Structure 1
Amino acid sequence: MSEHRRHQAVLQLLANRPFLSVHDLVAATGVSPATVRRDIEKLDAAGLSKKVHGGIAALEGQERRAVALPFIVNRDIATEAKRAIAKAAGQIVRDGSLIIIHAGSTCFHFGAHIADRNLRVFTNSMPLAAYLAENGTCQLTVGGGDLHREPGVLYDPQRAPDSFYGSQFFVGALGISSRGLLESHPLLVRFINEMVELANEVVVLVDSRKFAERPPNVALPLARVNRLITDDGLSDADAQMLEDQGVDYIIAETGQVAA
């Protein structure tokens, strides 16, 4: 990852979290602690963030906004929560069924978790398809179309309708509110709505951070969601919102995930 791309990734991460430790940045960028510390120095000198003990902080008064991070960065953020969600989601999948898995990092962790199950998996996610092709034994069907490198999906809006029907559609989101699943990319909004019509049950996989995000586009109202799985960081207020909206949800305990 180039220095410019690293700096952009750090600033995007700070839009979601007020503080990032050196360890967080090493995990997110894949470079050494020494390189991370040099990046922190440069961002601080440029007035884009603030160097603090042990890491880097967002500037005071900086507006928090939802940003779609590059997949390779987002995949390695909140991994404990995502793996816990993946494990809980795996428990509601029946062997022998056909499931649809959307793009995104939490769905990727879920797909990796069920890679060796007796399942047929349909996905438009290039990262997940590549992982399952190399590491999985499940039957894999990959959607066709143009490659959209971010968010990492194959999609052709002019293609003929898909001829399959899944028992479950597992989908993530950039944000969650009482309005529904929120996304910033219009392509994902369209794709989600198409896939919803091809599955018997819609299962949303989102870590608890996503309840604070407010992307501009509603991809799917909560009334269309059959089940939601999140981690034990879910606040009481967000749990109450889900209950008020009639959403059945499962809390994945992060402490139960093996190291």
Structure 2
Amino acid sequence: MSKRNTQQRRHYIISELNDAGEVSVESLARRFETSEVTIRKDLAALEKSGLLLRRYGGAVPLPREIVEPQNQKVSKQKECIGKAAASLIKDHYRIVIDSGRTTSALVEHLSDKRGLVVMTNSLAIASRLNELENEPTLLMTGGTWDPTSESFQGQVAEQVLKSYDFDQLFIGADGIDIERGTTTFNELIGLSKVMANVARDVIVMVESEKIGRRIPNLELPWQQIHTLITDNGLPANLKQDIESKGVIVICAD
């Protein structure tokens, strides 16, 4: 079955779940004239995406306290930042998407791009890229799995990246030090530096609430950053301070 039909089937499953309050593997298999194994794979993928909870023989909706975001503003910020980042990507570009919740917001806006080559160190991002109908060429870094960042890190990943060159890197940050650059809680910053070295343009995606947050571990200095994309909550004085470092600042609305 094509990826398009797979997506349509999964959209139906969510719609049916919202209407009926539960779905069963057996009834879905009959509805789509497919195997129960295929339906279980659908439910597993949807559960991994945070859209439902599996139970014996089927699935039920997520509890309301899980479904409703604790901070809707943050969700909208990520969406705006992701859309703005995608507008910078041209057809046939070769890009790197680093792991992270903000960078992952970029993926859904890539469906109209042709001939993309995308490298990532995130299994979650790779899975979402694989669902796109335009089927970008997908590359994985491999390496050592780091549960803290939920991504591959280490020397193997670095060596793989050094074998390529890219038009753009899209990377997040735990904080932005106005004087120094991007900062992170994670001490594994070697891969980030390699990603920046192999990309022509480094684009940082970060919510405005993180700008001015000083964290000990410097990840990327301003000299390596081409563009910073944030939301429209960034104060004008901080925007000017960052631009004075030679960085293009985009405040997505």
What TM-score do the two structures reach when normalised by structure 1?
0.66
- Mapped contact 2:154–2:190 kept (Cα < 8 A): no
SS in 2 for 1:168: strand
Find the counterpart in structure 2 of residue 113 from structure 1.
109
Unaligned runs of 5+ in 1: 1-29, 37-72, 254-259
Find the counterpart in structure 2 of residue 48 from structure 1.
none
Find the counterpart in structure 2 of residue 130 from structure 1.
127
Find the counterpart in structure 1 of residue 64 from structure 2.
32
- Mapped contact 2:183–2:215 kept (Cα < 8 A): yes
Matching of residues 186-197 of structure 1 within 5 Å: 186-187=187-188, 189-197=189-197
Find the counterpart in structure 1 of residue 186 from structure 2.
185
Matching of residues 51-62 of structure 1 within 5 Å: none
Alpha-carbon distance in 2 for matches of 1:194, 1:74 = 35
Find the counterpart in structure 1 of residue 239 from structure 2.
239
Deviation of 1:150 (Å):
2.3
Q: Structure with the greater relative contact order (CA < 8 A, sep ≥ 6): 1 or 2? A: 1
Name the amino acid aligned to 1:110. Answer: L
Find the counterpart in structure 1 of residue 36 from structure 2.
none
Deviation of 1:85 (Å):
1.0
- Mapped contact 2:142–2:156 kept (Cα < 8 A): no
- Mapped contact 1:104–1:172 kept (Cα < 8 A): yes
SS in 2 for 1:129: helix
Q: What percent of counterpart residues are identical?
A: 31
Q: 1:98 to 1:107 in 2, by over 3 A?
A: same
Decide which structure has the larger Cα Rg and report it: 2
Matching of residues 35-46 of structure 1 within 5 Å: none
What TM-score do the two structures reach when normalised by structure 2?
0.67
SS in 2 for 1:94: coil
Name the amino acid aligned to 1:206. Answer: V
Q: 1:168 to 1:76 in 2, by over 3 A?
A: farther
Deviation of 1:116 (Å):
5.0
Deviation of 1:219 (Å):
0.3
Unaligned runs of 5+ in 2: 1-61
Alpha-carbon distance in 2 for matches of 1:31, 1:148 = 29
- Mapped contact 2:90–2:113 kept (Cα < 8 A): no
Matching of residues 99-178 of structure 1 within 5 Å: 99-118=95-114, 119-136=116-133, 137-158=135-156, 160-162=159-161, 163-177=163-177, 178=179
Deviation of 1:214 (Å):
2.0
